[in-house]
Amino acid sequence: MKINKIYLKNINSFKGEHRIDFTENPLSSAGLFAIVGPTGAGKSTLLDAITLALFNRVPRFDKKISKDLVGSGGSILTRGEKECAVEVEYVCRSGVFVSKWWINVNRNNNLNDYGMEVVDKTKEQIITNKKTEVPDKNQSLIGLNYDQFVKSILLSQGEFSKFLKSGKDERGKLLEDITGMQIYRLLGKKAFEMNNEKGGELKLKRNQIKSVSEKLVAQEIAEIWEKDLAEKEIAIAKANENSEKTSESIRLKNTLKVIGDEILQKEKDYTNTATIWQVFEQEKLPILQQHELVEPYRERILQVKNDIRELRNLQNRQLVQNQDLVQNQQDFNQNLNVISDFTGEKVNAENATEVLQEFRRKVTELQRELSEQEGTLKAKQQQISESLSFLRIPELNALSVNQLADKSLALIESVAKEQKVQMEKWYEIAEISSPEEVEEKGQKLAFELKLYHHLNQLIGDYSNLKTLFSEAENEEKTQLDFQNINTLVLEKKQILYTELVQKIEALEVEKERLGKSYNFEKDRAKLLKKDEACPLCGSLEHPFLSHYANNYVEIDQDLKAQKAEEKVLNNEVNTLKTQIASAHQLELKEQRRRNELQQKLEVKHVEITEVKQNLQLEKVGNRAWVQEQIKLKEQQTEALNLLVKSVKVLADLKLLYRIVKETKGLQEQKNVLIDTIKGLYTGKHINNDCDKLQQKFSELQTKITANLQQIQQLDAEIKEKNEAVKILENDLLTALNGLGFSNFEEAQQHLLSVEQSKNLRDEQEMLRTRITVLQSELKSKKAEFEQKQEEDNPSISLEELLSVNQLLQEQRKAVTDEVMDLKVKIQVQNDHRQEISALEQEISFLEKSNLKWELLNRYIGDAEGKKFSTFAQGLTLGRLIALSNRRLAELSDRYLLDKPAENEDDELMIIDQYMGNERRSVKTLSGGETFMVSLSLALALSDLASKNVKLESLFIDEGFGTLDPETLDLALGTLEKLQQEGQKNIGIISHVESIKERISTQIRLERNNRGFSKIDIVG
């Protein structure tokens, strides 16, 4: 997999659009290039952009990128921008593809959701534009997931340098962090926790069984409880039988008492009912018999009674109609008088309607004329109100629109005279004599005022520029002095640094010589024995081994001290260089700023001269004089504006005077018309008043006619009904005389209503039935009483039976309580046994299900997860060392990396093939050798992560800032060799100055004073 191009738009500090093309020179031909720039310029952002476009993730955030993260974190999107995007073009075994990522702000200033897509560059076809599918698609095409890609393409040499020289525990932690193997520690810890959790459940269940078992009683006690329970249940059954017999005897005696009471009550009821029947025969039965004689003639009697009532009703109606006729005739005459008073003319029944209509027409016509007059007057008054509102002259506020008089006209004339006096004053201020000069004077003043304002601004700008010019001169001098002083200091430190480097080189040569001699002497010492002759020289003393060892330690300590001093001095030299370069840049910046300010001063001077000529001024005073001229011109302009307004106001006052005069005349005409109408009609609604009078006139005429017709009709009906009543009365009286009734009223008195007759008959029947029923019930109850007496035992009283029954109940209750207590005890014991059985089943199940966790905990589990993690780390470390040795063989044939043996310290070991496969600690490696080995480890991790994927783009971060020049040369030579052998694009991320000097092809990141960066590719 190889990255061809990177495109960024508004990503963090990269404002605007930026492109990096690895397929074009100088990057395509260089292979090895540097990414350089100051801290915060965006070196890491370039790497973030790659993973963002491919996987929607960046190494600095441990989660996927979302619009909420972009919005809340202030990351990804450049501040102040509305959209951002990143694209990465890469080539792999499947072809050339472009992966895109973007996000933007909508019209509501809220972020839309991000978008992603993958495009097949060869076919110019979108493979997928679903953001959830793009990361998986890139993973499928490249052959690496996100974690593998980051470990394969971004090599952190610094982490492996630390990894090399760490102890076993620290090395294990670093190996986890570098390779992402934390999962094995978590698995071991999880196995331990799950075993504890399941074991805790088993322990809890066993404790529960123990607790419940302690509540069980002995089997002998349980059997005694069962036996007692059976005996007491038999006793309860016998007590229930005795109690039932006693209760039956009590019920029998109670029944006899109830039946005796019922017999006495029924005998009493029979005597009372017989008495009531005697009273009924004496008082009510004769009334019912008289009613039954008259009842056949009920309908005829009621008919005569009803006809007489109807005859009286007709006579009453006729009387009412006569009274209404008299009243309506009086109201009619009164209504004619009202119409006469209303119209002012004498009227009668024949001409009343005609006179009323003529009066309505006359008044209506006058009201119409008044309404038209008021409309015209209102329009005039509205014109006056609008004029007053437009003029807004306080003196005219006293003018009343509804009450216009001669003094109103005089007030308007007075205001107009005052306006003319004010105009003369404004003519004088504006330095003109007539309205015709206003326009020309106004244009001239506007032109001059604009020039004076411009002149005032130019003078202010010129003064500010002179101040800035002086500041720039002072700052330029300050930076120049700083450079001169620190350049002398730098030269001295560089001389010291050169001398120190030469001393270190001499010490390293001596250290290497002593190391080789020491190894030789150590091998020879294996053949030498104390007090025995050397096989080579024959000497009995062998002092050189300790001599070499002691000198080697002294040289090594001295070398470390000199290197520490060299590092401090190198940092001081680099700091001075940076400070001098920064001061030089500031000096150049202030010099450019001074030149720019000088040019601006000259331009401002020319502009001031032009304005002076346009204003025809021989010389220009200070800024205060210019501001005074501006104030004078503004006063004249204000006078002109007021003059224009006054001319308009004077014209409006003349128009107002004319309208007020016309309105005053209309008001007088309106008053005359109002007086005329009031002389005829003082009401408010003429049509309503006329309609009411006409309606009442017509209604009264109709009522009188109706009264006369009703009276005539009622006379005929009364005569007919009177004759019919006389015939019915004669026939009915003859029949009633035959029954012994002397007249019609006597027979009617004995006639009962239907309800009264029914009540008497019902009462008669009820009394007869009641007597019969009581006789039957008395006979039945007496027979039942005699039967129950035969069953009863008279020798025992009811009180004795109740006492015996209470005793039996108390005995049964005591035994029942004992039975319930025994049942509860037995049930509790049974519940405990069932609970123990259920717990034993649960324990059996848990023991089976927990077996896997016990096995896992036995082999990989512990509280910290260290057991499984250590095992996995050992396998991974072996694999990583094997891959690292392959890479190391490509760079150097001298060293091999190996794990420590059991009899060695826990440090990683180096096998020196130049020294007879000597094993020694990696801490004895020089800086360049350490870099070479740590780089091999980083490349090995890349191989381990990428598996079978060929990566042709690598980025190496960290590790260069601490290398001395010689080691740096070795490191860069190693990387160049790696690039040439693998045809890879290798990018080195660094801010070390010497990197910039050694690697000519560079991606430079430069920040401006606003914090934004730009990309510059040089080579």
Express each pLDDT in 332-362 by its tens digit. Answer: 888 888 878 778 788 887 888 888 888 888 8
Beta-ladder partners of 105: 111
| Residue from 327, 324, 333, 322 nearest 697 by CA | 333
**670-677 contacts: CB < 8 A, separation 24 or more?**
670/370, 670/373, 670/374, 670/377, 673/366, 673/369, 673/370, 673/373, 674/370, 676/366, 677/363, 677/366, 677/367, 677/370
Confidence of residue 799 (pLDDT cuts 50, 70, 90): confident
Where is mean pLDDT largest: 256-270, 640-654, 978-992? 256-270
Would you say residue 742 lies in a domain? yes
Q: Dump pLDDT digits (tens) for 866-917.
A: 777 777 767 777 887 888 888 777 767 788 888 887 776 667 888 888 888 8
**Candidate from 537-546, 580-589, 802-811 with smallest mean pLDDT:** 537-546
Alpha-carbon distance of 910 to 928, in angstroms, equals 14
Tell me which residue range forms the domain holding 816: 227-292+755-830
Higher pLDDT: 554 or 568? It is: 568
**Structure letter (DSSP) for residue 105:** B
CATH label of the domain that carries residue 472: 1.10.287
Task: Count Cβ neighbours within 10 Å for each residue of 662-673 and write b for 16 or more, e otherwise.
Answer: ebeebbeebeeb
Q: Token pair of 479, please?
A: 């930076």
Would you say residue 607 lies in a domain? yes
Residue that terminates a domain, selected from 579, 595, 620: 620
Statement to judge: residues 480 and 559 lie in one domain:
yes
**Placement of tokens 């008495």 in the chain:** 275
Would you say residue 211 lies in a domain? no
CATH label of the domain that carries residue 1009: 3.40.50.300
Statement to judge: residues 135 and 82 lie in one domain:
yes
Is residue 468 a contact partner of residue 681, using CB atoms and an 8 Å limit? no
Q: Read off the pLDDT of each residue in 717-736 and give the average, rounded to a whole number.
A: 76
Q: Dump pLDDT digits (tens) for 753-775.
A: 778 888 888 888 888 888 888 88
Q: For every residue of 474-532, which 3-state class applies, written as one string?
A: HHHHHHHHHHHHHHHHHHHHHHHHHHHHHHHHHHHHHHHHHHHHHHHHHHHHCCCCCCC
Task: Look at residue 536 in the predicted model and tell me its pLDDT.
Answer: 45
Residues 6+ positions from 741 with CB-CB distance below 8 Å: 294, 747, 750
Confidence of residue 87 (pLDDT cuts 50, 70, 90): very high
Q: Token pair of 208, please?
A: 């529960």
Residues 6+ positions from 500 with CB-CB distance below 8 Å: 562, 565, 566, 569
Would you say residue 456 lies in a domain? no
Q: Dump pLDDT digits (tens) for 903-918.
A: 766 678 888 888 888 8
Q: How many degrees, rounded to 5, is the angle at CA 880 between CA 874 and CA 882? A: 105
Task: Look at residue 545 in the predicted model and tell me its pLDDT.
Answer: 45
Confidence of residue 970 (pLDDT cuts 50, 70, 90): low
Q: For every residue of 943-989, which 3-state class applies, written as one string?
A: HHHHCCCCCCEEEEECCCCCCCHHHHHHHHHHHHHHHHHHCCEEEEE
Flag whether pLDDT at 400 surpasses 50: yes
Statement to judge: residues 288 and 299 lie in one domain:
no
Q: Read off the pLDDT of each residue in 924-932 and give the average, rounded to a whole number.
A: 75
Alpha-carbon distance of 88 to 953, in angstroms, equals 13
Residue that terminates a domain, selected from 576, 604, 620: 620
Q: Dump pLDDT digits (tens) for 247-303.
A: 877 787 788 788 888 888 888 888 888 888 888 878 887 777 777 777 777 777 777
Statement to judge: residues 285 and 399 lie in one domain:
no
Statement to judge: residues 79 and 45 lie in one domain:
yes
Alpha-carbon distance of 44 to 428, in angstroms, equals 76
Would you say residue 858 lies in a domain? no
What's the burial of 839, exposed, middle or buried (CB within 10 Å: 0-12/13-18/19+)?
A: buried
Q: Strands of 985-989's sheet, edge to edge?
A: 154-156, 953-957, 985-989, 32-36, 1002-1007, 1013-1018
Region of 669 please: left (phi>0), alpha (psi -120 to 50) or beta: alpha
Would you say residue 501 lies in a domain? yes
Q: How many degrees, rounded to 5, is the angle at CA 127 between CA 123 and CA 130? A: 155
Statement to judge: residues 675 and 706 lie in one domain:
no
Alpha-carbon distance of 901 to 699, in angstroms, equals 137
Statement to judge: residues 18 and 108 lie in one domain:
yes
Alpha-carbon distance of 999 to 971, in angstroms, equals 12
Statement to judge: residues 5 and 124 lie in one domain:
yes
Backbone angles phi, psi at 79, to 5 degrees: -60, 135
Would you say residue 251 lies in a domain? yes
**For the chain, percent of residues with pLDDT exceeding 90:** 7
State the pTM of this model. Answer: 0.39
Strands (E), 790-945: 895-898, 909-912, 918-921
Task: Look at residue 640 in the predicted model and tell me its pLDDT.
Answer: 78
By three-state DSSP, how is residue 9 classified?
A: strand
Alpha-carbon distance of 217 to 110, in angstroms, equals 76
Statement to judge: residues 362 and 327 lie in one domain:
no
Q: Token pair of 452, please?
A: 């004076």
CA distances from 232 to 16, 243, 822 (A): 102, 16, 10
Task: Look at residue 341 in the predicted model and tell me its pLDDT.
Answer: 79
Q: Dump pLDDT digits (tens) for 801-852.
A: 778 778 877 777 888 888 888 888 888 888 888 888 888 888 888 778 777 8
What's the burial of 311, exposed, middle or buried (CB within 10 Å: 0-12/13-18/19+)?
A: middle
Statement to judge: residues 773 and 715 lie in one domain:
no
Q: Give the H/E segment covering residue 471.
A: helix 438-525
Task: Look at residue 100 in the predicted model and tell me its pLDDT.
Answer: 95
CA distances from 52 to 9, 15, 85, 131 (A): 13, 17, 10, 12
Would you say residue 252 lies in a domain? yes
Flag whether pLDDT at 749 surpasses 60: yes
Statement to judge: residues 485 and 606 lie in one domain:
yes
Residue that terminates a domain, selected from 795, 810, 830: 830
Flag whether pLDDT at 228 surpasses 80: yes
Residues 6+ positions from 81 with CB-CB distance below 8 Å: 10, 15
Is residue 636 a contact partner of residue 469, using CB atoms and an 8 Å limit? no
First to last CA, the chain: 24
Residues 6+ positions from 818 with CB-CB distance below 8 Å: 228, 232
Work out how many domains the chain is built from and give that number. 5
Alpha-carbon distance of 936 to 929, in angstroms, equals 11
Statement to judge: residues 615 and 481 lie in one domain:
yes
Task: Look at residue 388 in the predicted model and tell me its pLDDT.
Answer: 72
